[in-house]
Amino acid sequence: MEAVVFDMDGVIFDTERLVLEGWAHTGKKHGIVGTDEVCRECLGTTYEISRQIFLNHYGADFPYEEYKEEMRSYFYQAIEKEIPLKPGIQEILTELRKKNYKIGLASSTRRAVVLEELEKAELTEYFDVIIGGDLLKRSKPEPDIYLMACRELSVEPQKAYAIEDSYNGIRSAYAAGMRPIMVPDLMPPTQEMEEKSIVICSNLMEALQFIETK
């Protein structure tokens, strides 16, 4: 194996719970119910796909952009001082670099935001390739973002691991022909995830141990 490609939210940063909290705060303020369930359906998708999911649930006149900004205000206030890291991320990145793995990032988040958050957390230097969701037309669960990451890393997909927490992310990596490793965050593994993942790990250090034994 030659490369490891990471998702960002829920894998590198412990931020997905803050998104849920932000939407719950906004929903309570405006009398919107069910945001938690809708947000979980959006995990691993782009802004455009998430917007459509909200409109499908709440109607075409749902002011998504307005409420999204309120959620973002809550989110950025929460991470103003420090972006919470997932346990083990510094260790796994350091060890992969020592072992000369190519390291990529494939996030559905806009690339400018990805770069800003990585820079703030002082993690940018670990990544050889950084792909944002706005660079492609099709979002996860389509394989496009992982295929692009592999092309940019100059590795065949079957020679690369993908570390993901979301269902859509695992589906995307699997469809790309990679070797998906699931490290669940907000969503527990299902039978489908067990079938599409080569292993399901409880944390990043367990994922590192798996990679080191292969």
Q: Is the same domain home to 147 and 97?
A: yes
Exposure string of 66-90, with b = 16+ CB inside 10 Å and e = fewer, is ebbebbeebbeebbeeebeebebbb
Give the model confidence (pLDDT) of 108-121 as tens digits.
999 999 999 999 99
Q: What is the pTM of this model?
A: 0.89
Residues whose CB falls within 8 Å of the CB of residue 169, separated by 6 or more in sequence, listed in order: 7, 43, 44, 140, 141, 162, 180
Residues annotated as catalytic are: 7, 9
Q: Is the same domain home to 9 and 35?
A: no
Q: Is the same domain home to 91 and 74?
A: no
Q: Is the same domain home to 135 and 74?
A: no
Q: How many domains in the chain?
A: 2
Q: Is the same domain home to 114 and 174?
A: yes
Q: Is the same domain home to 45 and 65?
A: yes
Domain that holds residue 49: 16-78
Q: Is the same domain home to 28 and 118?
A: no
Using N-to-C axis directions, what is the helix angle for 64-78 and 16-30, rounded to 10°? 130
Q: Are 43 and 168 in contact (CB under 8 A)?
A: yes
Give the model confidence (pLDDT) of 32-73 as tens digits.
999 999 988 888 788 888 999 999 999 999 999 999 999 989
Output the pLDDT for position 48. 87
Query: Cα(40)–Cα(54) distance, rounded to whole angstroms?
Result: 11
Mean pLDDT of the chain: 94
Output the pLDDT for position 16. 86
